[in-house]
A and B are shown apart, each in its own frame.
Chain A
Amino acid sequence: MEKSNAGKWFYLLALVMLLAALVFGVLAALSYSSQGLWKESLGFIKLRPLHVSSALFWILTGANGIVFFALQAMGLKLFSPVLARVQWLLWVVAMAGIFYSYFSGDFGGREYWEYPPVWSVFIFMAWVLLAINFFMSTGSFHQRPVYFWMWSTGIIFFLLIFLENYLWIFPSFREHFLQDTTIQWKVNGSLVGCWNQMIYGTAMFLMEKISGDKTTARSPLAFSMYFLGLFNLMFNWSHHIYTLPTAEYVRYIGYIVSMTEWIILLRIIYTWKAAVSTAKKHLHYYPYRFLLAADAWVFLNLFLALLMSVPAINLYTHGTHFTVAHAMGTTIGINSMLLLAAGFEFSGLKVPGQNKTIRAAFIMVQVSLLLFWIVLIAAGVYKANWQMNHPEISHTQMMQSLRPVFVVFTLAGLVLMFSLGSIAFYLFKKMTGPGQHLSTFPA
């Protein structure tokens, strides 16, 4: 029987979304840093959701694809290729509907999900089919390593929290801004935790596959770290809303739970040296480099996130570009690096380490992203100082002063678009090349 290619179909869809996210991101940056560029046609009001949704769908369908890839790599037969096919089509219909809505200016949803809620029905149905296919393919959890728990957690909790994401449809949930916004950010915080569980789970599977060490993902320490992640997924969300006058204990819970992530940071520092030395011993050139890059970005972004989770510091960073730096750093630096590592590993491409184009693109991605990140933090420092100390300066004047910073930000974004885009394009081209078994879908 021909091997399943469901993972590949989802991953290809994800790559298209990555390319879209990069193009819309640069257009949004141009619109942001100029005086009302295209404001009556495309404008930032449409470009921001186009960029954000493309990036989100890259992560969601990419996570979906790499879990299918991993199941195949473990020798588990996909329960139903037909369900995978319907699931893929549901995603395509949802994406087409959402992008059409944005281009025609038909909004109605909330931040990060700005499209009319009807399209979320398709995403939800696709996710239900993923859950059925995943659990029917994996069977019993007895003796399963921790990454099975992480995939399962991501899939199940995404379904539950995605429903919670639409409680606002009922008018009673919208009547009081504080209650409504508290739920909105509870959802946003936890949803990020869901896809992180799926992607980090695959990263763990990759590390096991590359190193050949089968004990790590079954150890009590691995499960302890998983539960620490789950604990944060469930309870750390209120660090997003410290300045919202909710009940104080709600904010304290988020504060205390967030601080437990220092344990993760300390563990990264402790295992860093070992990870690098292991990397040198193995031949999975690109997957390992992307994994190591993700490790470095986890360190930087977790450090930033931990500082931002202290309310006294959050008071300065909240509502400033610090938050954007954190969001970009995690989605590009961590999630995208891990998804690309998985793409190179699972696609079975024999890419020699000497491939100059990919090597150059990899370095350019890291350098431009670092510049991008630093520039956003610089803008965050400037805005924090403005909002704390200079009420006499108008918002417009403050934004005008930041213009040179935004120009650098746009240029860094342009380099990022070409470098990350060339890696995505390379993967796409190779995955659709001769002998890639894409004629049957998904089989």
Chain B
Amino acid sequence: MVLQWPKYVFLILTVLFVTYSIHIYSLPEGISKNYHPALAAEGRLVWQKYNCQSCHQLFGLGGYLGPDLSNVYSAKGKGPVYINAFTRSGSGQMPAFNPDPNEMNALLEFLKSVDDCGVASPAHFKVKPDGMISNPG
């Protein structure tokens, strides 16, 4: 017996997948006037160049050695000066890095854009009756 329906199901799922993907690319997610988008885009490359993701997380995504840096830009007692100093001096398990001023500027703008997305600490989320969670904003 030869099944005919699999090719149709495959086709339908593929069309849905492509449509959903294009929709995701065009979502106006996280667009804000609080940071400079082009500079933040450069900053993400700096984040990747120094492989910060190997140890640090942003919104819980990334490595497990250092702390989550999602809101380090606006955290009390931290911010740009703290980030700059820590990056250049290193710590117990973190090596010292030496980004040039342009790179540091871009990295700070990137972290500002991350911080602009909202609070990342899971302790601030609310659980809905259906099991979904809502962001603190």
Give the interface of A toward B (CB within 8 A).
32, 35-36, 39-40, 43-45, 48-49, 107-111, 114, 142-143, 149, 164, 167-168, 171-183, 185-186, 218, 220, 223, 226-227, 230-231, 234-235, 240-248, 250-253, 255, 310-312, 314-316, 318-321, 324, 387-389, 391, 395-396, 399
Question: CB < 8 Å: which of A45, A391, A396 contacts B54?
Answer: A45
CB-CB contacts below 8 Å: B5-63 with A: 5-6, 9-10, 13, 16-17, 20-21, 24-25, 27-32, 37-38, 40-42, 44-45, 48-51, 53-55, 57-63
Q: Beyond A45-B55, A114-B54, A391-B123, is A175–B38 a contact (Cβ under 8 Å)?
A: yes
Give the interface of B toward A (CB within 8 A).
1-3, 5-6, 9-10, 13, 16-17, 20-21, 24-25, 27-32, 37-38, 40-42, 44-45, 48-51, 53-55, 57-68, 90, 92-95, 110, 113-114, 116-118, 120-123, 125, 127-128, 131-135, 137
Check if A319 sits within 8 Å of B44, measured CB to CB.
no
Check if B38 sits within 8 Å of A319, measured CB to CB.
no
Question: CB < 8 Å: which of B48, B65, B120, B121 contacts A32?
Answer: B65
A251 to B95 CA separation, bound complex (whole angstroms): 36
Separation in Å of the B87 CB from the closest CB of chain A?
Answer: 13
Check if A247 sits within 8 Å of B49, measured CB to CB.
no
Q: Beyond A142-B2, A244-B59, A315-B133, is A231–B41 a contact (Cβ under 8 Å)?
A: no
Additional 12 contacts, C-beta under 8 A, given A178-B117, A183-B24, A250-B24: A45-B55, A109-B48, A110-B48, A111-B63, A114-B53, A172-B41, A176-B30, A176-B37, A243-B59, A251-B132, A311-B132, A315-B133
Question: CB < 8 Å: which of B27, B40, B45, B110 contacts A108?
Answer: B45
From A384, which residue of chain B is reached at the shortest CB distance? B122
Chain A residues near B48 (CB, 8 Å)?
107-110, 114
From A237, which residue of chain B is reached at the shortest CB distance? B24
Check if B133 sits within 8 Å of A40, measured CB to CB.
no
Check if A114 sits within 8 Å of B51, measured CB to CB.
yes
Chain B residues near A110 (CB, 8 Å)?
48, 53
From B20, which residue of chain A is reached at the shortest CB distance? A235
Check if A231 sits within 8 Å of B13, measured CB to CB.
yes
Max chain B Cβ within 10 angstroms of own Cβ: one of A44, A173, A177, A235: A177
Check if B61 sits within 8 Å of A111, measured CB to CB.
yes
Separation in Å of the B48 CB from the closest CB of chain A?
Answer: 6
Q: Beyond A44-B65, A182-B24, A235-B17, is A241–B59 a contact (Cβ under 8 Å)?
A: yes
Max chain B Cβ within 10 angstroms of own Cβ: one of A49, A164, A178: A178
Check if A182 sits within 8 Å of B95, measured CB to CB.
no
Question: CB < 8 Å: which of A36, A171, A226, A227 contacts B93?
Answer: A36
Separation in Å of the A311 CB from the closest CB of chain B?
Answer: 5
11 contacts between A and B (CB under 8 A): A36-B93, A45-B55, A111-B62, A114-B54, A177-B110, A177-B113, A186-B21, A234-B17, A244-B61, A246-B29, A388-B122
Q: Beyond A45-B54, A48-B63, A387-B123, is A39–B94 a contact (Cβ under 8 Å)?
A: yes
Chain A residues near B132 (CB, 8 Å)?
248, 251-252, 255, 311-312
Separation in Å of the A322 CB from the closest CB of chain B?
Answer: 11
A251 to B135 CA separation, bound complex (whole angstroms): 12
Separation in Å of the A247 CB from the closest CB of chain B?
Answer: 6
Chain A residues near B133 (CB, 8 Å)?
242-243, 311-312, 314-315
From A395, which residue of chain B is reached at the shortest CB distance? B67
From B32, which residue of chain A is reached at the shortest CB distance? A176
From A226, which residue of chain B is reached at the shortest CB distance? B6
Chain B residues near A114 (CB, 8 Å)?
48, 51, 53-54
Check if A177 sits within 8 Å of B117, measured CB to CB.
yes
Chain A residues near B9 (CB, 8 Å)?
227
A292 to B40 CA separation, bound complex (whole angstroms): 49
Check if A179 sits within 8 Å of B6, measured CB to CB.
no
Q: Beyond A182-B29, A396-B92, is A44–B55 a contact (Cβ under 8 Å)?
A: yes
Separation in Å of the B35 CB from the closest CB of chain A?
Answer: 9
A220 to B5 CA separation, bound complex (whole angstroms): 9
Separation in Å of the A197 CB from the closest CB of chain B?
Answer: 12
From B40, which residue of chain A is reached at the shortest CB distance? A175
Separation in Å of the B113 CB from the closest CB of chain A?
Answer: 5
Question: CB < 8 Å: which of B32, B37, B125 contacts A315?
Answer: B125
From A171, which residue of chain B is reached at the shortest CB distance? B41
Check if A318 sits within 8 Å of B114, measured CB to CB.
no
A222 to B23 CA separation, bound complex (whole angstroms): 31
